[in-house]
Amino acid sequence: MRLPYRSKLAAASVLAVLAAGAVLADPSPDAELVVNEDIELVTRVAPGPAVEGVLTEVYSGWLYRETETRAMQMDDFDNPAMVFADQGLDMWDTVDGTEGKSCASCHEGIESMKGVRTSMPKMNGAATDLWSMENFINDCRTNRMGAEAWKWNSNDMKNMTSAISLQSRGEPMKVSVEGAAADWWERGKEIYYTRYGQLELACANCHEVNAGNMIRADHLSQGQINGFPTYRLKDAGVVSIHQRFVGCVRDTRAETFAAGSEEFRALELYVASRGEGLSIEGVSVRP
Amino acid sequence: MKSHVAHWAMAPALAAALAAALAALPAAAETAPGGVAFDGGAVAASLTGAPGDATAGATVMTTNALGNCVACHELAAMPEVQFQGNIGPALDGAADRWTEAELRGLVVNAKLTFEGTMMPAFYKTDGFIRPGDGYTGKAPTAELPPVLTAQQVEDVVAYLLTLKE
């Protein structure tokens, strides 16, 4: 078959695009996440109850990233988020507020926080509200320490959530969606499937139906939150779960919900339930 | 009443000249987003009353802040455009598969052709849930503009019509 040169070029580029698509359609099939050649993290699990029959397998966002980005998370000396987790660790022992207390005054070593991140968000002690880790931290600060509440996306807050999340690294995600949390979960699910903004996009459009596909240069993941807080290379800083939610909803040309809002706490619970069984990676590295 | 009669009674030559002058003014015939006439998912009439410019359309299609069609669609006809997405079908040969009216309808509001499609409506200004002021994340302070202007829609349609295999 004889083709004019331009047609051949076009055909070749179609093949190149198709080949690239075939490679990129699935998350890296063989990659294994082992941090510091020691901590083995689970990045693929069978779907939990929230996504049974919806997803064939649950994948950490780590699997969708380029080799170099994945490698940064495999060594704590290369992981840029570690500096911020260390600052949070310093803060853990720092006295603040009118009561003369630090976190350590009540909780002793930060290792006592092991497992905490896996169950977030959860109902508060009085079972009157669904709280993210940020709410629990501020409850301690204002009610026990007599200190000022931190803003949701402040550096202090993100340093502390990073340090606390790190204590659960390798532990499986497992939020409770029973009892009073059930209504919050339903609300979060409704938000997940609502097509917001002038572009009329739901979370599900990109992260359920098109996970593995490309939007321009972005390789769409399942939007799992087991890696948060995450060091986002694009932002050159640590990003909270709600901060990422704000960014996604904004990109649909919508009026976003606020970080810390009921809507985003409900969404956090629902999305966390979709990732049941994945290892907590916080603090992870993403592009 | 009398003055109306007088207007309609103007010289035929003058009336013809007036009609010709109006036809040469596409802006006067521009269709607002709420006034687009659909036949199924198709829109027969140009939104501007005139054909678009395919070269300008190619720019709209590849510019992030405009149509950014290549964010979701592959287009082998533009091998120089990097990072083409693969959410929707490839656009090559679109003019072989769709008529001009169908292509216009797909750009204006593809949901009337494919129910539930992920593709945004590029010439629609109402019916949204929590629409924002562009990409600011804030509530709009004025009436929403469509994502693309009538002229930009027509330019995209003109480009798509060149995609024959």
CB contact under 8 A, B118 and A196: no
Supply the pLDDT for residue B17: 54
What residues in B contact A216, CB-CB < 8 Å?
64, 68, 70-71, 83-85
**Angle of CA points A242, A193, B65, to nearest 5°:** 70
Could you read off the pLDDT of A144-170 as tens digits, one per residue? 999 999 999 999 999 999 999 999 999
Q: Is A248 a catalytic residue?
A: yes
Domain ranges in chain B are: 36-160
Could you read off the pLDDT of B63-102 as tens digits, one per residue? 999 999 999 999 999 999 999 999 999 999 999 999 999 9
Q: Give the pLDDT band (50/70/90) at residue A26.
A: low
CB contact under 8 A, A214 and B120: no
CB contact under 8 A, A215 and B72: yes
Supply the pLDDT for residue B4: 43
Fold classification of B36-160 is: Cytochrome Bc1 Complex; Chain D, domain 2 (1.10.760)
CB contact under 8 A, B120 and A199: yes
Supply the pLDDT for residue B28: 58
DSSP B75-141: -TT-TTS-S---SS---TTHHHHS-HHHHHHHHHHGGGTSTT-SPPPSS--SS-SSB-STTSSSPPS
Rounded to a whole number, what is the distance in angstroms from the first to the last CA of chain B? 59
Closest Cβ opposite residue B77 in set A10, A205, A252: A10
HSE-up (13 A, CA, CB side) for residue B45? 13
Closest Cβ opposite residue A253 in set B68, B92, B132: B132
Nearest-by-CA chain A residue for B138: A255
- B75 burial level (CB within 10 Å; 0-12, 13-18, 19+): buried
Give the three-class secondary structure for B57. Answer: helix
Q: Which of B118, B136, B144 to mutate to test the interface with A (most CBs of A within 10 A)?
A: B118
Q: Give the pLDDT band (50/70/90) at residue A32.
A: very high
Hey, is the C-beta of B84 within 8 angstroms of any chain A C-beta? yes
Q: Which of A9, A18, A198 to mutate to test the interface with B (most CBs of B within 10 A)?
A: A198
% chain B with pLDDT above 90: 81
